[in-house]
């Protein structure tokens, strides 16, 4: 079975006592510290990978008189210290990356990785707490436990910071969309204003273009009315067109920022 295979991989390199070996068989893949007859067996996990549910387990055995044995033989706790350093490097790397991210697409992989990092580091610190409880005079394991607690706090902060950054990016995007909508509404209003202004001019031009007899009072004033209307229309077109061009330039800059974030 898979549990037996993991158990063999963890314990084959160690001369564990029979009672302690039986304890390992219960939950071989869980981060934990087991004790039997003054022996300790510590099971920890390698740094989890994003999107990978399986965990790689590492075993450390403490002999009553010969001290700690790690993967590969009697190496003390150097490999456990190296494991904690790898946790720190991953967490610090994500924290540095968050400072430069400007898109939710780039932030999502960090959030996806931060959750298993926080959970795994929390369970790792709990296992080391138990090892300290079983071996109170072991200064080295206490030091590593304290380091694991710092990593746990950093991983939790990484997860919360990444979620806050995502919320901020979403709020910022919503503000940009709201402002763009308001600008578009103002542009539409000006276009409707122009249409409403030129509609009577077009109707008046069509009336003057018809072969009908105009009242005598309008005949001398035809060119005056036409010139005044043309002047007012030109001024209105100039003012509205300039403001519309400025709004269109602003909308173009918003679209460029959105493309840059993608």
Q: Answer whether residue 222 is part of any domain.
A: yes
- Whether the per-residue pLDDT at 245 is higher than 70: the answer is no
- Whether the per-residue pLDDT at 148 is higher than 50: the answer is yes
DSSP codes of every residue in 15-53: ---HHHHHHHTTSTTS-EEEEETTEEEEEEEPPPPTT--
Q: Answer whether residue 196 is part of any domain.
A: yes
- Spatial neighbors of 15 by CB under 8 A, at least 6 apart, are 63
Of the candidate ranges 47-51, 89-93, 102-106, the one whose mean pLDDT is the lowest? 102-106
- Whether the per-residue pLDDT at 3 is higher than 60: the answer is no
Q: How confident is the model at residue 221 (pLDDT cuts 50, 70, 90)?
A: low
What pLDDT score was predicted for residue 126? 92
Strands (E) in 20-177, as ranges, are 32-36, 39-45, 57-63, 67-69
What pLDDT score was predicted for residue 197? 64
Q: Answer whether residue 211 is part of any domain.
A: yes
Stronger pLDDT, 41 or 249, i.e. the higher one: 41
- Whether the per-residue pLDDT at 17 is higher than 50: the answer is yes
Q: How confident is the model at residue 84 (pLDDT cuts 50, 70, 90)?
A: very high
- Provide Rg for the chain, Cα atoms: 37
Q: Answer whether residue 118 is part of any domain.
A: no
Stronger pLDDT, 74 or 2, i.e. the higher one: 74
- Measured CA to CA, the distance from residue 116 to residue 147 in angstroms comes to 18
- Measured CA to CA, the distance from residue 88 to residue 92 in angstroms comes to 6
Q: Answer whether residue 183 is part of any domain.
A: yes
- Whether the per-residue pLDDT at 83 is higher than 80: the answer is yes
- Over residues 92-131, the pLDDT tens digits come to 998 888 878 777 777 788 888 888 899 999 999 999 999 8
Can you tell me the mean pLDDT for 184-188?
76
Q: Answer whether residue 9 is part of any domain.
A: no
Stronger pLDDT, 176 or 162, i.e. the higher one: 162
Q: Answer whether residue 42 is part of any domain.
A: no
In b/e form, how buried is each residue of 50-74, taking b as 16+ CB within 10 angstroms? eeeeebebbbbbbbeeeebbbeeee
**Tokens at 32, concatenated:** 């934990």
Domain with 212, as residue range(s), is 176-261
Stronger pLDDT, 52 or 15, i.e. the higher one: 52
What pLDDT score was predicted for residue 167? 76
- Spatial neighbors of 23 by CB under 8 A, at least 6 apart, are 34, 36, 41
Average pLDDT, the chain: 76
- Measured CA to CA, the distance from residue 49 to residue 116 in angstroms comes to 8
The model carries a pTM of 0.64
What pLDDT score was predicted for residue 257? 57
What pLDDT score was predicted for residue 211? 57
- Whether the per-residue pLDDT at 189 is higher than 80: the answer is no
- Measured CA to CA, the distance from residue 48 to residue 139 in angstroms comes to 27
Across-strand partners of 39?
A: 36
Q: Answer whether residue 13 is part of any domain.
A: no
∠ CA 237-242-178, nearest 5°, is: 115
Q: How confident is the model at residue 1 (pLDDT cuts 50, 70, 90)?
A: very low
The domain total for the chain is 1
Stronger pLDDT, 200 or 153, i.e. the higher one: 153
- Spatial neighbors of 141 by CB under 8 A, at least 6 apart, are 77, 128, 131, 132, 135
């Amino acid at each position: 079975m898979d549990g037996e295979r993991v158990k063999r991989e963890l314990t084959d390199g160690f001369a564990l006592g029979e009672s302690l070996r039986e304890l390992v068989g219960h939950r071989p893949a869980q981060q934990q510290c087991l004790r039997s007859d003054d022996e300790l067996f510590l099971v920890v996990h390698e740094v989890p990978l994003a999107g990978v549910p399986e965990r790689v387990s590492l075993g450390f055995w403490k002999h009553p008189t010969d001290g700690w044995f790690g993967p590969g033989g009697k190496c003390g706790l150097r490999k456990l210290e190296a494991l904690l350093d790898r946790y720190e490097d991953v967490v610090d790397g994500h924290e540095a990356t968050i400072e430069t991210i400007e898109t939710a697409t780039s932030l999502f992989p960090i959030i996806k990785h931060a959750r298993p990092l926080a959970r795994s580091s929390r369970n790792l610190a709990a296992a080391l707490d138990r090892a300290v409880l079983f071996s109170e005079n072991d200064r080295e394991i206490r030091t590593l436990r304290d380091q694991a607690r710092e990593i746990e706090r950093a991983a939790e902060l990484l997860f919360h910071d990444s979620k806050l950054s995502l919320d901020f990016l979403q709020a910022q995007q919503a503000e940009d969309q709201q402002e763009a909508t308001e600008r578009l509404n103002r542009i539409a209003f000006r276009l409707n204003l122009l249409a409403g202004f030129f509609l009577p001019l077009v109707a008046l031009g069509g009336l003057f273009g018809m072969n009908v007899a105009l009242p005598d009072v309008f005949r001398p004033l035809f060119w005056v009315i036409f010139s005044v209307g043309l002047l007012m229309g030109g001024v209105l077109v100039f003012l509205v067109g300039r403001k519309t061009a400025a709004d269109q330039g602003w909308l173009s800059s918003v679209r460029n920022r959105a493309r840059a974030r993608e």
